[in-house]
Amino acid sequence: MIKLTDVSYTYMTGGPFEKAAVSDVNLTLNNGDFIGLMGHTGSGKSTLIQMIAGLIKPTSGTIEIDGQTLHSKDCNMRKIRFKTGLVMQYPEYQLFEETVFKDIAFGPSNMQLPDEDIKRRVEFAADLVGLAPEILEKSPFELSGGQKRRVAIAGVLAMEPQLLILDEPTAGLDPAGRDEILCKIKDMHRRLGITVILVSHSMEDLANITNRIVVMNHGRVAMHDKTSEIFKKSEELQKMGLAVPQITEICEKLRAAGLPLSEGIYTVEMAKAEIEKVLKK
Amino acid sequence: MFKDITLGQYFPGHSFIHRLDPRTKILAVIIYITSIFCIKSFLGYAVLAAFTVLCVLSSKIPFKFVLKGLKPIMIFVIITAIFNLFLTDGKILVRWSFITITYEGVRLAIFMVLRLFFLVLGTSILTLTTSPIALTDGIEYLLSPLKKVGVPAHELAMMMTIALRFVPTLLEETDKIIKAQTARGADFESGNLINRAKAMIPILIPLFISAFRRADDLAVAMECRCYRGGENRTRLRELKMKKGDVFGWFALVCLVGLIVLANVAYGRINI
Ligand SMILES: Nc1ncnc2c1ncn2[C@@H]1O[C@H](COP(=O)(O)OP(=O)(O)OP(=O)(O)O)[C@@H](O)[C@H]1O
Ligand SMILES: [Mg+2]
């Protein structure tokens, strides 16, 4: 369980460019959930997840992960970091090794795993993000942007974290690659029972794979609920500069036109089932 | 992580000091620094301190922020003070086994500390109140007489602008890379010296690569806009001395006058 109590974060405290990025966030996230995090640009999403990953210390407030308070005296931050994997926004710049294989292995080898274990994990992670085996021997610097992104994501997945946080992992990837990666992550979530936090601007992606959603607005948590409940509030979302999935919009319009569809439809499958049910009547 | 680095940082504002011509401010700082080293008495430093306080007050920058610039040099200051305190010959004040402290030593130590403080404060006021662009414009202008003897004034100024411009960017980038590698379990704190040096590799390589990429992008972007050096370039904003600058110069002349007086007085009354 991840528990945030009155968490705030201010960049450059005391300076002329002081900026409160996150204010008074109280949030409890359950283990095993697939949580979507959305909010307008600059709403503090990246800041919030960096605090959860223990990379930056809240200016005030506390964060508890499975009963341990981050940055407290009796908390081994390194151990916690091995349990949490964070794929930062635009993670391509973190590549540095001679070969892709070695770069993906950086995380696992920091965990001091035996060699064969590392090898297994690297191959597993590379396969997960759709990297062909021959790429593993190339230098990460001669890859395309999308391939670099995949290597960076694989580098975190190879650590097999219990809490996986992804900050817009698919921004800038082609649609097929995006769906593939998200699908594999969903699959990993189901099989290993890990907790996933996914930051995304794509309502479709969030609707398809998350079961809970947190909405941030100007550094505060505006909503936190089941995915189906969140997308019922299309008006509120629009006020925050966000949207609902296109299929939800269409269903709303159909309902306004007199079709007796139920509320809170957010995937194409749900819409299909619902419309068929209505038409049969 | 790099919150404490204020050196070279610009603090935007519209105060009297902010609006002074950059040339006035650069020359003022040169005079200020020269006078730091010419002062012979505490009275002189009192005058300088009053002047500095007035400058900070009129610049409307919080004192705390200006003083933050002193933090990084603290160790250096302390070491200098200790050396001067113990290694100066003269009239003995305290003697305790092998340690002797002389009257001259105390005096010199205090002077050195004051000099270093004023040095950093004076230059901080300049960079805090002058945007990097204005600063390099001023430097280019002041260096331009040297163009005749082949000093590439414009190119030097441009290089300085670019370097200053990229300091915060690179700091931010370093911060981001450190975070990303920490998230992957990199350990920068423990281990012996060699291990720690090795731990820097995952930070330095991405940093160098991005710096080169940025330099490359910038060069292409500049060429796309037909930049080709200093010949015949005109400016959007010409530097102009204003009324405020006259007042600034007047204040500076007063400062120098008072310091000279203090030095003369020192010859007579010795404080
Ligand atoms: N390193 C930093 N220094 C200063 N201010 C920052 C820094 N990083 C972020 N901010 C500010 O904090 C606020 C929140 O930023 P954050 O990156 O958390 O937003 P975000 O929700 O992730 O946005 P996006 O969707 O664009 O990624 C922004 O207003 C931003 O300007
Ligand atoms: Mg972000």
Pick from B24, B27, B13, B92: nearest CA to B56: B13
Residue B140 belongs to some domain of the structure:
no
Query: Between B41 and A222, where is the model more confident?
Result: A222
CA pair distance B217, B110, nearest whole angstrom: 49
Distances (CA, A) of A98 to A124, A140, B210: 20, 7, 16
Distances (CA, A) of B113 to B68, B81, B123, B255: 16, 6, 16, 21
Count of A-B CB contacts under 8 Å: 68
Q: Over chain B, what is the mean pLDDT?
A: 87
- pLDDT given at position A210: 94
List the domain range (segments joined by +) for residue B103.
1-130+240-271
CB within 8 A of B212, min separation 6: which ones?
Answer: none
CA of A46 to the centre of ligand 1 (A): 7
Pick from A239, A230, A169, A164: nearest CA to A203: A230
CA of B122 to the centre of ligand 2 (A): 38
- pLDDT given at position B217: 94
Taking the CA of residue B185 and the nearest CA in chain A, the distance in Å comes to: 6
Q: What is the pLDDT of residues B67-97, one digit of tens each?
A: 888 888 889 999 999 988 888 888 888 888 7
Mark yes or no for CB contact A96/B202 under 8 Å: yes
**What is the number of the ligand 1 atom nearest to the C-alpha of A50?**
18
**Residue ranges lining ligand 1, Cβ < 6 Å:** A 11-12, 19, 21, 39, 41-47, 89; B 172
Report the residue from A12, A50, A107 with minimal CB separation from B184: A107
Chain A, 90 to 119: residues with Cβ < 8 Å from chain B are: 91, 93-96, 106-107, 110-111
Q: Whose CA is nearest to atom 29 of ligand 1?
A: A42
- pLDDT given at position B73: 86
Domain count of the fold of chain B: 2
- pLDDT given at position B20: 93
Q: What are phi and psi of B267, to 5 degrees?
A: -60, -30
Q: What is the mean pLDDT of residues A231-243?
A: 89
The pLDDT of residue B238 is above 90: no
Please indicate if any CB of chain B lies within 8 Å of the CB of A169: no
**Residue B175 and residue B204 share a domain:** yes
- pLDDT given at position B137: 87
**Residue B244 and residue B227 share a domain:** no
Pick from B74, B89, B48: nearest CA to B258: B48
Which sign, positive or negative, has the C-alpha torsion B139, B140, B142, B143?
A: positive
Mark yes or no for CB contact B183/A53 under 8 Å: yes
- pLDDT given at position B6: 57
Percent of chain A with pLDDT over 90: 66
CA pair distance B92, B152, nearest whole angstrom: 53
- pLDDT given at position B1: 44
DSSP string, chain B: --TT--TT------SHHHHS-HHHHHHHHHHHHHHHHH--SHHHHHHHHHHHHHHHHHHT--HHHHHHTTGGGHHHHHHHHHHHHHS--SSEEEEETTEEEEHHHHHHHHHHHHHHHHHHHHHHHHHHHS-HHHHHHHHHHHHGGGGGGT--HHHHHHHHHHHHHHHHHHHHHHHHHHHHHHHTT---SSS-HHHHHHHTHHHHHHHHHHHHHHHHHHHHHHHHTT---STT---SS-----HHHHHHHHHHHHHHHHHHHHHHHHHHH--
**Residue B207 and residue B115 share a domain:** no
**Residue B103 and residue B30 share a domain:** yes
Q: What is the pLDDT of residues A241-269, one digit of tens each?
A: 898 899 998 998 998 998 888 888 888 99
CA pair distance A238, B16, nearest whole angstrom: 45
Residue B115 belongs to some domain of the structure:
yes
Mark yes or no for CB contact B65/A56 under 8 Å: no
Pick from A187, A107, A103: nearest CA to A143: A103
CB within 8 A of B215, min separation 6: which ones?
Answer: none
In the structure, what pLDDT confidence band is assigned to residue B3 with cuts at 50, 70 and 90?
Answer: low
Worst-scoring range by mean pLDDT, A128-132, A198-202, B100-104? Answer: B100-104
Please indicate if any CB of chain A lies within 8 Å of the CB of B186: yes
Distances (CA, A) of B82 to A65, B89, B256: 48, 14, 30
In the structure, what pLDDT confidence band is assigned to residue B270 with cuts at 50, 70 and 90?
Answer: low
Report the residue from A78, A88, A155 with minimal CB separation from B179: A88
Pick from A177, A247, A245: nearest CA to A205: A245
Q: What is the pLDDT of residues B194-219, one digit of tens each?
A: 888 888 999 999 999 999 999 999 99
Please state the domain extents for chain A. 2-244
Q: Which two tokens stand for residue B23?
A: 């040339």
- pLDDT given at position B5: 58
Evaluate whether B112 touches B88 at the Cβ level (below 8 Å).
Answer: no
In the structure, what pLDDT confidence band is assigned to residue B165 with cuts at 50, 70 and 90?
Answer: confident
Query: Identity (one letter) of the amino acid at B264?
Result: V
Chain B, 48 to 107: residues with Cβ < 8 Å from chain A are: 62, 64-65, 68
Taking the CA of residue A28 and the nearest CA in chain B, the distance in Å comes to: 22
Report the residue from B64, B186, B202 with minimal CB separation from A14: B64
Q: What are phi and psi of A163, to 5 degrees?
A: -125, 115
Residue B137 belongs to some domain of the structure:
no
Please indicate if any CB of chain A lies within 8 Å of the CB of B163: no
Mark yes or no for CB contact A155/B184 under 8 Å: yes
Mark yes or no for CB contact A96/B206 under 8 Å: yes
The pLDDT of residue A13 is above 90: no
In the structure, what pLDDT confidence band is assigned to residue B235 with cuts at 50, 70 and 90?
Answer: confident
CA end-to-end span of chain B:
44
**Residue B125 and residue B245 share a domain:** yes
ipTM over 0.90: no
Which residues does chain A have within 8 Å of residue B201's beta carbon, measured at their own beta carbons? 96
| pTM, full prediction | 0.81
The pLDDT of residue A216 is above 60: yes
**Residue B248 and residue B119 share a domain:** yes
Q: Over chain A, what is the mean pLDDT?
A: 91
Q: What is the mean pLDDT of residues A144-168?
A: 93
**What is the number of the ligand 1 atom nearest to the C-alpha of A47?**
18
CB within 8 A of B198, min separation 6: which ones?
Answer: none
How many other CB atoms are there within 10 angstroms of residue B187's CB atom?
A: 14
Please indicate if any CB of chain A lies within 8 Å of the CB of B168: no
Kindly report the three-state secondary structure assignment for every residue of A61-107: EEEEECCEECCCCCCCHHHHHHHEEEECCCHHHHCCCCCHHHHHHHH
Worst-scoring range by mean pLDDT, A28-32, B57-61, B266-270? Answer: B266-270
Which residues does chain A have within 8 Å of residue B202's beta carbon, measured at their own beta carbons? 94, 96, 106
**Residue B218 and residue B253 share a domain:** no
The pLDDT of residue A36 is above 90: yes
Mutation choice for B interface testing from A94, A98, A141, A151 by most B CBs within 10 A = A94
**Residue B203 and residue B103 share a domain:** no
Q: What is the mean pLDDT of residues A205-220?
A: 94
Percent of chain B with pLDDT over 70: 96
Could you tell me the fold of the domain covering A2-244? Rossmann fold (3.40.50)
Mark yes or no for CB contact B183/A141 under 8 Å: no
Mutation choice for A interface testing from B6, B9, B184 by most A CBs within 10 A = B184
Percent of chain A with pLDDT over 70: 100
The pLDDT of residue B4 is above 60: no
Please indicate if any CB of chain A lies within 8 Å of the CB of B182: yes
**What is the number of the ligand 1 atom nearest to the C-alpha of A219?**
14
**Residue B217 and residue B104 share a domain:** no
Query: Residue A27: enclosing H or E segment and its boundaries?
Result: strand A19-29
CA of A47 to the centre of ligand 1 (A): 6
Q: What is the pLDDT of residues A65-115, one digit of tens each?
A: 998 999 988 888 888 889 999 999 989 889 999 999 999 999 999 999 999
